[in-house]
Structure 1
């Protein structure tokens, strides 16, 4: 077998091993059999909520198990075909079999990433919270660019985006904003984006056209389902109302309808201003708070460090996950995985998938952790 074919076979086998380990194969097979038995029970749909959850779990598990079995079967078929073609000296058949291996390697890689989206809250919608760093207008403008990047990524994937609250900057950009992204596995895809993002560019606000470095932070947390119980005590809350600052007509701008909730024990602060009534904004803000507390618990379970996920941490050197350099050259580099792009305009326009895929894969592969690197 030629070197390229051997390399592809090894790559596919590595993906299969990761998939099998991630599934916990024996447990997955037993659970799928159990779910198939539940599906045949005529009384299952007496509780539609429970039935829907079980059927969703069954569909995801069956898809993962079927994908692994497909990989096993098609890999062996390709190996047998190559060996037969080489024995007969049929170069055209060898080329066709190697082409099949390349397609199979792509399929294996895709299934490997999809398998990573099986965490407890990965299927949920996501809140994305953006904060500008020190630096006034420059960082506030960068924060608005970052917010737009995630909104465009969501739109390109057919997800719905709702603006929950935004705090406009004095001259341009935003001090902070929160959006809700609604779509399949929204949290699973975006959960690795929490951290500090750095921009290097010639400032449009500097009359001397000097190069500036700006920082903004991103926090991603899952929207919690109604059946997830998160205990929040009234005595632990500080609730403030204020006048909404964004667009929304006369009602929004003349009443204290916006709500900010501070969870005193954790220091978590959430705010909502997109609803027209204070009551609705308070209900939504409470939902956001519970989501933050739930995400905090998920991070503890995953033994993740809190430095990258603490919105009150210093937004600057030492907490970065990605650098976006527009001057003196053009480069976007993820400091955790080493993934790069020489087209920052596309990345800032929402082309994030290769960064998301690499960061998710690094969680299982144990990929490189990014130190702080001085780019530009």
Structure 2
């Protein structure tokens, strides 16, 4: 209750600050015009520009009001076809999201990793903890494409690699998800990894398969099979919940005649390192030349643009419904 109260106070306080700032700036401009003081007018106009930027960010944050947007989230990365090259790309993506989480004060925990045969990762699952973690990252689900000179090619040829990202919310106590035991197959196996806490000599890692949907989750971050089983069940509930959310959104998009091919199994962003540097989001058109900065976690522009696009779609759908 205290967390909810704090969140509401911050939201209302932010709106009131904008409102007061707007009134003060308009008053300053009026005074400047009366006294013919250009300095005062210019100062007020600068403040209005700043307020506009803040208002646009607040508008984006207003999108993070879905029933699961405020929750923590799971982030899965899977290497595509292409062996070591694709597995190295998957590891680069995991690093990118980890750095983004660190920069925003979120905590990230490794839940599962399947190392590549020579380098990189075949797959990995992170738990990212923090307010609105799912809300900010939910638009990252899709296929990410990398073009570069391969460090694994002795002839230094250019390669194209793919990796898929899946983001789904942690299901808290306010959301109920029922799972029938007969619908779930549980397999245990030995954890694998680079060593240390991720590896042990018992069958402690757990894989769960939901037979009706084909959804598979796995956890190996603890030496205890019971703890891994509990975490895997929580992940499975989260995946099933996200699966239902996706179905609802597809229905809504179809009704609004705005269904697109962007989603799981479709390319959403290209990262080009050779022959030039550019990262372009194919959904929103946002592109940046500082590819290394993006790979170091500077992805806010892409997240904000994707959320803004959803805002525009939501407004268009509302207008059609009212019409």
Match of 1:186 in 2: 133
Alignment of 1:201-280 (within 5 A): 201-249=148-196, 252-280=199-227
Q: Which of 84, 96, 113 is the matching residue for 2:31?
A: 84
Aligned residue number for residue 318 of structure 2? none
Task: Name the CA shift for 1:158/1:59 in 2 (closer, same or farther; >3 Å).
Answer: closer
Which of these residues, 273, 282, 295, is aligned with residue 229 of structure 2? 282
- Corresponding residue number in structure 1 for 2:256: none
C-alpha distance in 2, partners of 1:291/1:155?
Answer: 23
Map of 2:62 onto structure 1? 115
**Deviation per residue, 1:56-106 (Å, 9 max, x gap):** 444433433443343333323322322332243211111111111122112
Is 1:94–2:44 an aligned residue pair?
A: no
Are 1:194 and 1:308, in contact at CA under 8 Å, matched by a contact in 2? no
1:302 and 2:246 matched: no
In structure 2, how many angstroms separate the alpha carbons of the residues matched to 1:355 and 1:249? 35
Contact 1:326/1:344 (8 A) holds in 2? yes
In structure 1, C-alpha distance between the alignment counterparts of 2:271 and 2:295, rounded to whole Å = 9
CA–CA distance in structure 2, aligned partners of residues 287 and 101 of structure 1: 46
Task: Name structure 2 gaps, 5 residues minimum.
Answer: 254-258, 315-323
- Unaligned 5+ segments in structure 1 are 1-51, 314-318, 368-376
* CA separation of 1:211 and 1:248: change in aligned 2, threshold 3 A: closer
Counterpart in the other structure of 1:5: none
Aligned-pair CA distance for 1:277: 1.5
User: Is residue 200–residue 325 contact of structure 1 (8 Å, CA) maintained in 2?
Assistant: yes
Residues 93/249 of structure 1: CA separation in 2 closer, same or farther (3 Å cut): closer
Match of 1:204, SS state, is coil
C-alpha contact (below 8 Å) 1:158/1:183 kept by paired residues: yes
- CA deviation vs aligned residue, 1:341-362 (integer Å, no higher than 9, x gap): 1111111111111111111111
Q: Is the 8 A contact 2:98 2:297 kept in 1?
A: yes
Q: Which residue of 80, 85, 97 maps to 1:133?
A: 80
For the aligned residue pairs, the C-alpha RMSD in angstroms reads 2.1
Counterpart mapping for 1:30-41 below 5 A: none
**How does 1:345-364 map onto structure 2 within 5 Å?**
345-364=292-311
Q: TM-score, normalised by structure 2?
A: 0.89
Shift of the alpha carbon at 1:308?
A: 5.2
Report the counterpart of residue 112 of structure 2 in structure 1.
Answer: 165
Q: What residue number does 1:104 align with? A: 51
Distance 2:237 2:40 in 1: 58
Query: Aligned partners of 1:97, 1:335: CA distance in 2, in Å?
Result: 38
Are 2:88 and 1:144 aligned? Answer: no
Alignment of 1:301-340 (within 5 A): 301-303=248-250, 309-310=263-264, 313=265, 319-340=266-287
Which residue of structure 1 lines up, in the alignment, with residue 320 of structure 2? none
CA contact (8 A) 1:243 1:257 kept: yes
Q: How many residues align?
A: 307
Between structure 1 and structure 2, the one with the greater Rg is 1
TM-superposed deviation, 1:306? 9.8
Could you tell me the TM-score, scaled by structure 1's length? 0.77
